[in-house]
Structure 1
Amino acid sequence: MSTPLEIYVAGLRNAHAMENQALAIMHPQVSRIKHYPEMAERLDQHVVETEGQLTRLDRLLDKTGSSHSSLKDTALSIGGTLAALGHSMAPDEIVKNSFANFAFENYEIAAYKSLLALAEQVADDEAISLLQHNLDEEIAMSEWLDSAIEPLTLRYASLSDSATEAKK
């Protein structure tokens, strides 16, 4: 049986790997976007936020006397890279990426809500503040993506009607 602290530390490690996966998904997307500058700009901003989230998670792991799992980080980064590569072959790459990003942001939201519950259980007040910061950034990104899906889809359709390469 695991103690609440052990479950919490495992959750921090999982969140660290999850954020590395997010970076592996976003970096290739940003580098490929041509006709959707608002998406590129928001993804760039979220890359910076995600790097800050990793720093906060490292701080919390250090505080528990632990560190991130290199194996989990690497495995999920590879998975993220493969996911981004898979969409790059689709004619509607930008639309598929927006769907996948929205789903991933909501996964991250759920993960941080779970971690916050565990941080409260182990009475780690500093962690509550740092994890709430991460959660707030994920919620903001999810809300932005939610509001962007329809206009992005319509822009893709409009560009597809012209001779412009609309996929990115």
Structure 2
Amino acid sequence: MATSYEENYHDWLRDAHAMEEQAEKMLQAQASRLEHYPDLKARIEQHIEETRQQQQLLDSVFDNLNISRSVLKDTVSKVTAMGQAMGGMFASDEVVKGAISGYVFEQFEIACYTSLIAAAKAAGDEHGAKIFEQIREQEIAMAKWCIDHLPDVTQQYLTRSAEPGVEAKK
């Protein structure tokens, strides 16, 4: 029988899996619409690959613990991601709002993995804790890239939007 530490840990692990599913869908939607911001698009595409690798790492933790994933949470997260992506399409300053949202989402992921590391350790899963630390480092690197490049993305948007007849939003 699982302890409450394990139950919470397993629930949060399922949440992390759903979060990465959501991240992949949001990033794919954002990258598919970017036309005039090649650096941003390239970094997002790189992070899509990192996110897929993170999903595989999470799957290995599920397998190691012999627990099931949550199909419902994954499905809800995908629907939520699609709604968020669709909503951004209509903003005239989509690229700037997307860059800000990306940074915020990375910070959310960092916090989730920080908590998940503590939960894994409390449940006695050092293997899982090491994997979450590895994933968190990738999220920290992406968050840093986002905040470091936000001024550039903003300036590029402002420059493009000042040009008559030039598409700036994506």
Q: Settle same-fold status: TM greater than 0.5.
A: yes
Aligned to 1:167: 169
Gaps of 5+ in 1: none
Partner secondary structure for residue 167 of structure 2: coil
In 1, distance between residues paired with 2:25 and 2:40? 17
The TM-score, its normalising length taken from structure 1, stands at 0.97
Same amino acid, percent of matched pairs: 37
Aligned to 1:139: 140
The TM-score, its normalising length taken from structure 2, stands at 0.96
Give the letter for the 2:167 counterpart: E
Gaps of 5+ in 2: none
Say if 1:58 and 1:67, in contact at 8 Å, map to a contact too: no
CA deviations 1:3-38 (Å, max 9, x no partner) are 101111111100000000001111111111001000
Partner secondary structure for residue 10 of structure 1: helix
In 2, distance between residues paired with 1:106 and 1:48? 19
- Shift in Å at residue 63 of structure 1? 1.5
Give the letter for the 1:151 counterpart: D
Say if 1:120 and 1:128, in contact at 8 Å, map to a contact too: yes
Aligned to 2:31: 30
Moved over 6 A (4+): none
In 2, distance between residues paired with 1:57 and 1:7? 16
Aligned to 2:100: 99
Aligned residues: 168
Give the letter for the 1:86 counterpart: G
Give the letter for the 2:168 counterpart: A
- Does residue 122 in structure 1 map to residue 123 in structure 2? yes
In 2, distance between residues paired with 1:87 and 1:126? 38
Instruction: Give runs of aligned pairs for residues 53-92 of structure 1, distance below 5 A.
Output: 53-92=54-93
RMSD over aligned Cα atoms? 1.2
